[in-house]
Amino acid sequence: MQIREMFEREIDRDIQGVIIVGQDEEENVAQELDEYVVTKELQRHFADFFSAYKKGMNGNTPKMGVWISGFFGSGKSHFLKILSYLLGNKEVGEHRAIDYFVGDSAAPGKNFTGKAKIIDPMVIADMELAANISTDVVLFNIDSKSDGGSKQNKDAIVNVFLKVFNEMQGFCGAIPFLADLERKLTEEGRYQEFKEKFNEGYGDSWEKSRQDFDFIQDDVVQVLADMDFMSEAAARNWCEKVSEPYQISIEDFAKRVKAYIEYKGNNHHVVFLVDEIGQYIGEDTKLMLNLQTVTEELGKECMGKAWVIVTSQQDIDSVTKVKGNDFSKLQGRFDTRLALSSANVDEVIKRRILEKKEVPAQTLRLIYAQKATTIKNKIIFNDGVEKKLYADENDFALVYPFVPYQFNLLASVLTAIRTHGASGKHLSEGERSMLAMFKESAAAYMEYEEGTIIPFYAFYDALENFLDHSHRGVILKAYENSFINPEHKEKDVFAINVLKTLFMIKYVNDVEANVENITSLMISNIEDDRVELKERVEKALKILVRQMLVQPNGNVYVFLTDEEQEINREIESQSAEMAEIINKASEMIFEDIFTDKKYRYPAFNGRYTFGFNQIVDDRLYKPLLRSS
């Protein structure tokens, strides 16, 4: 049986490895909602969130902030996007977003056959309540919505909030002066009239043309005058102000949001969902203060009808201790804190990517029953750090063709790569998630037969295009090296696979790069002969060391970047005269180790001392010292 035949869903199907906030094609949304896995951890997070959100639906509360934290790839952005669908009561075809969570019982007559993702009836009731309340959802990545260089502005946060708030209402986000005009026209019920007259006079729609306001000022003035909305002089005077810097206080912004909510009526809500706020703020205290004030004012003015939900790789306690400043008020506003962990990612991968059909699962359970001892004897680590192996036949059927230790180790690798600057820009922004890497690695081996185990170096191929050249270039050059790749193969070169393995664990403390551990990481089939594989690993390491791509350090082997290789080559190219070496050794021995210049005879209370020649390898360092 081939690996591809085992999975419940097609392993080579197109899925989004990373959730891009702002991407909203209906087909993608349907797949996201259908395949979204609500783990035990997420069951608690949904319960905590909707319990807090209900306070703003049933009454008033100034605590209207939610802080979602988690490590790289933990699913923060995905969770945020799912919340946006639920709160906005998004409809996909015949179904609402909430139908995918409460199952077929909640969608009578809609032929909805999905299983319930949420099991707590109280949580379902809270979700239904939220879905049935009129809500405007404003979902955005703050860095992508921020104008270039605007982070230097102390009001950067409120300016971005104003921009997306205007865009949500259909107003011009890039030019807030125009948004104010559009808002005024809307309040007086004449915005549609303005757009129609502009289209008649200019020949193109207002929405397409307003970004080029500098070139259409005369047409705008003419339309406003013809509508008798403003005099021509007043309209021209207003146009001149558009080029001036726009300023709005946080208090005025909050009042503007409140006025909009009251205008909509019927307990209307506005929810700002902000992705990567922690990365955007960094350690900038001005931005931190701006966020704190925005949340304070929205809480004070709107009392739970306007919510701010953010994601950050750091928890709020870490962020609010920036440079010793006190941002305790911010902690008070973001009273609901949801932390996503690596366990959440493991469960999502197992259920979304690795879920098996019943017959293949039964076959895998039988294989493990026969081969359990063999497998345990083949995958052995000797560095004292726990590496999880298969717990039983059910675990084997669930995780296969991967090994349980690979979940935590890959998470450590991704974090370490980013920390040590080995990754490119896209990796650091989360372009490659663990979900995508497991899916792509499984797809690469889908034609292999049962018994295959995906080795750890397979993840390198899913990661390669997002690495800095100083690391990726080493692997690429290795393919061109005739000593390493004598057959000039384009892939699956054993020595290069060893090199990929060493790169993956270069910055990780979880595993020691010794021969035994490297061999375990290289296991690719439950029938592999470990002794033979270990000999091949040792042979490959000798070649890599000779080619100066790897450096031995005791019994550990270290992958060398381009810069490290250059340093090693310079060291190797340095020559020193034997006389210089002996002289330096003599200096270290007689100046640092044996600091006494005379030998003191221990008898007679050390009364007698004797001088001695300081000689190393028959070369005199200093002449005989006189005795006393």
First to last CA, the chain: 90
> How would residue 205 be classed by pLDDT, with cut points 50, 70 and 90?
very high
Given a contact cutoff of 8 angstroms between Cβ atoms, the answer to whether 68 and 310 are in contact is yes
Average predicted confidence (pLDDT) for the chain: 85
Other CB atoms closer than 10 Å to residue 219's CB: what's the count? 17
- Whether 521 has a pLDDT exceeding 90, the answer reads yes
More confident residue, 539 or 72: 539
Q: For the segment 417-443, what is each residue's pLDDT rounded down to a tens digit?
A: 776 655 544 444 333 478 888 999 999
| CB neighbour list of residue 21: distance below 8 Å, 6 or more residues apart | 77, 80, 81, 139, 140, 141, 273, 275
> How would residue 524 be classed by pLDDT, with cut points 50, 70 and 90?
very high
Given a contact cutoff of 8 angstroms between Cβ atoms, the answer to whether 579 and 544 are in contact is no
> How would residue 583 be classed by pLDDT, with cut points 50, 70 and 90?
confident
Summarize the confidence of residues 242-261 as an average pLDDT: 93
**Domains of the chain by start residue, with CATH:** 36-144+251-340 (3.40.50), 157-242 (no CATH), 356-569 (no CATH), 578-622 (no CATH)
pLDDT of residue 34: 86
pLDDT of residue 567: 60
Round to whole Å and give the CA distance between 558 and 503.
Answer: 8
Candidates 81, 83, 108, 84; CA nearest to 94 is: 108
Round to whole Å and give the CA distance between 481 and 496.
Answer: 10
pLDDT of residue 397: 95
Round to whole Å and give the CA distance between 327 and 289.
Answer: 8
Q: Which residues of 179-193 are buried (b: 16+ CB within 10 A; e: fewer)?
A: bbbbbebbeeeebee
pLDDT of residue 7: 93
Q: For the segment 461-513, what is each residue's pLDDT rounded down to a tens digit?
A: 888 877 777 678 889 999 999 999 999 998 889 999 999 999 999 888 888 99
- Whether 261 has a pLDDT exceeding 80, the answer reads yes
pLDDT of residue 432: 47
pLDDT of residue 425: 42
pLDDT of residue 628: 47
Q: For the segment 58-112, what is each residue's pLDDT rounded down to a tens digit?
A: 999 999 999 999 876 678 888 999 999 999 999 988 889 999 998 765 544 455 5
- Kindly report the pTM of this predicted structure: 0.74
pLDDT of residue 244: 86
Q: What is the dihedral of CA 347, 353, 356, 360, to 10 degrees?
A: -130
Whole-number percent of the chain with pLDDT over 90 = 53
